[in-house]
Structure 1
Amino acid sequence: MTTDNIRLRSEFINTKVIANDSAKQLGVVKELLVDIDRREVVALGLRDSILSLTGMPKYMYLEVIEKVGDVVLVPHDDVIEDVDVEAYSKLIGCEVITENGELLGRVRDFIFNIEDGRVASLVIASIGLPQIPEQAISTYELQVEEIVSSGPNRIIVFEGCEERLTQLTVGLLERFGIGRPLWEREEEEVYGYAKPVDPANQLGTGIPINTPASPKPIEARKPAYESTWDSDEWEEPEAIPVPPRQAEKVRYRERYEDEVDEENWRDERRDVAARREAARYDYDEKQDVWDDDIEPEPYNPPKVNIPERTKAPEYEDGY
């Protein structure tokens, strides 16, 4: 329940801001900025109209408000100022947890005093979205005296304060008897993981304590043949027959190696012949082949064996 000075944040949103001296509309209330340390509303965020989704946001301090009714009256249109938005919080959507880490819900609304901006209480629910109607989810009122500490996105309250919450609305699930508050749910429902079972209630692994021995021992495989070494009498072990395909591979490898050896010998003989041919034309490397003063060695041509002509015998006709 609200009065003229005590208002809900949701009732204050989308209220027009009018300058009293010129009757000019400065905008509509878009958001409220809260100083969490002092727990009071400090400034208002404005936008041009209810339907406008873009544009630069404008801010004004709460202390310049003259009167609040269907509209918010301010003295003049020079109340728009630069506000350090990062220093304050919107408070909507912040987690509310107890000192022992139990989740109570999220902030979806709050009640504050218009004159001094003091926050009186928080409205929490399982979902911190003001767009969801109150009739759909259960909401609870939390007094600010229960707050131990606060941060940008989390509010810590005293342990056991869930027993002192005041329920404002009953959600659809609770009306049908299938919904419960967050602090009454199991941990797997809230955080999405299963709670460990007490060791006394845990089932066994199913493995018997005394594992029965194998009735038949496993025999080790014996090798294909066993070679016994004796210094006096030693016989070569019987060779294992080679499969035909493997034997063909061995014969092919031997033929290939013989061909390679023959090719190597042929190359070596060719190299020897080349060295001998080069030795025939060996000359002194220090001698200048273009020097004209050097007398050439006399040329001794090899003897040519020309066979002598012999007269072929003549034969008379009739023989």
Structure 2
Amino acid sequence: MCGDIMLKISDIVGYPIVCNDQKKFRGEVKDAVLDLKNCTLTGLIIDYGSLIHHTRVIPFNSIYKINRNNIMVRFKKNILEIKNMDLNKYFIKKNEKILGCEVIEDNGKLLGFIQDIIFEEKSGNILGLVLTNGMIDDIFNGIQILPINNSIIFEKEKIVILRDTKNDILKNIGGLKKLLELEH
């Protein structure tokens, strides 16, 4: 995985969509569609239009390139009506439905809430979940990142991890505690 670019979904929300075959603006990213069973980003939900807004979806495999300030789709025909994507499947969810979900250990202990999702730019593979315990805790202690592995169970309203997986969580990324060297 060396050299792969990792992005957070929050990084690309608001990015304009440009069709390579027309070189013109086609909307902006509003949300992402995730396949939790296969741990992949399956598409981007976009919105376009000035007076009348249209919601469409771009399958992830139709994305040509993610640049620093836009997302390129090779052909306009790759932008589909959202009704063509089944968002009612159990494991297919909009990112907005996952944000704020509880992450708990299998013994019921709360570890945090999902704040963001990290994915690999080229493949769309979900690499990790950014966890929060609230803004004050994040400022003081920093955020936590839960790498995706086989010990994660996606349930309807929460995510359960096996106790052993707790050791895989990357803790205290940023935060005043680390900055002020209060942590040993």
TM over 0.5: yes
Q: Which has the larger radius of gyration?
A: 1
Which residue number in structure 2 is paired with residue 47 of structure 1?
47
Give the distance between the partners of 1:24 and 1:97, measured in 2 at CA: 44
Kindly state the Cα deviation for residue 113 of structure 1 after the two structures are TM-superposed: 1.4
Give the distance between the partners of 2:140 and 2:56, measured in 1 at CA: 33
153, 170, 174: which is aligned to 1:169? 174
Structure 1 contact 13–29 (Cα < 8 Å) conserved: yes
Matches within 5 A, 1:218-237: none
Count of equivalent residues = 167
Which residue number in structure 2 is paired with residue 61 of structure 1?
59
CA RMSD of aligned residues (A): 2.9
Which residue number in structure 1 is paired with residue 157 of structure 2?
153
Which residue number in structure 2 is paired with residue 239 of structure 1?
none
Structure 1 contact 146–158 (Cα < 8 Å) conserved: no
Structure 1 contact 18–24 (Cα < 8 Å) conserved: yes
Give the distance between the partners of 2:15 and 2:140, measured in 1 at CA: 25
Kindly state the Cα deviation for residue 114 of structure 1 after the two structures are TM-superposed: 2.3
Relative distance call for 1:146 and 1:97 in structure 2 (3 A) is farther
Higher relative contact order by CA 8 Å / sep ≥ 6: 1 or 2?
2
Give the distance between the partners of 2:170 and 2:26, measured in 1 at CA: 37
Relative distance call for 1:146 and 1:166 in structure 2 (3 A) is farther
Relative distance call for 1:47 and 1:135 in structure 2 (3 A) is farther
Matches within 5 A, 1:274-293: none
Which residue number in structure 2 is paired with residue 28 of structure 1?
28
TM-superposition CA deviations, 1:216-262 (whole Å, max 9, x none): xxxxxxxxxxxxxxxxxxxxxxxxxxxxxxxxxxxxxxxxxxxxxxx
Structure 1 contact 24–77 (Cα < 8 Å) conserved: no
Unpaired runs of 5+ residues, structure 2, are none
Structure 1 contact 63–115 (Cα < 8 Å) conserved: no
Does 2:124 correspond to 1:111?
A: no
Which residue number in structure 2 is paired with residue 71 of structure 1?
70
Give the distance between the partners of 2:109 and 2:150, measured in 1 at CA: 14
Give the distance between the partners of 1:8 and 1:25, measured in 2 at CA: 22
Structure 2 contact 15–29 (Cα < 8 Å) conserved: yes
Give the distance between the partners of 2:100 and 2:176, measured in 1 at CA: 19
Give the distance between the partners of 2:75 and 2:163, measured in 1 at CA: 47
TM-score, normalised by the number of residues in structure 2: 0.78
85, 90, 103: which is aligned to 1:83? 85
Which residue number in structure 2 is paired with residue 102 of structure 1?
109
TM-score, normalised by the number of residues in structure 1: 0.47
Unpaired runs of 5+ residues, structure 1, are 178-319
TM-superposition CA deviations, 1:118-158 (whole Å, max 9, x none): 1111110114x9xx9x6477310111116331123211101
Kindly state the Cα deviation for residue 165 of structure 1 after the two structures are TM-superposed: 1.9
Matches within 5 A, 1:111-260: 111-127=118-134, 135=139, 138-145=142-149, 147-167=151-171, 168-170=173-175
Runs (4+) off by over 6 Å:
none
Larger deviation, residues 139-148 vs 92-101: 139-148
Q: What amino acid does structure 2 have at the position aligned with 1:125? A: T
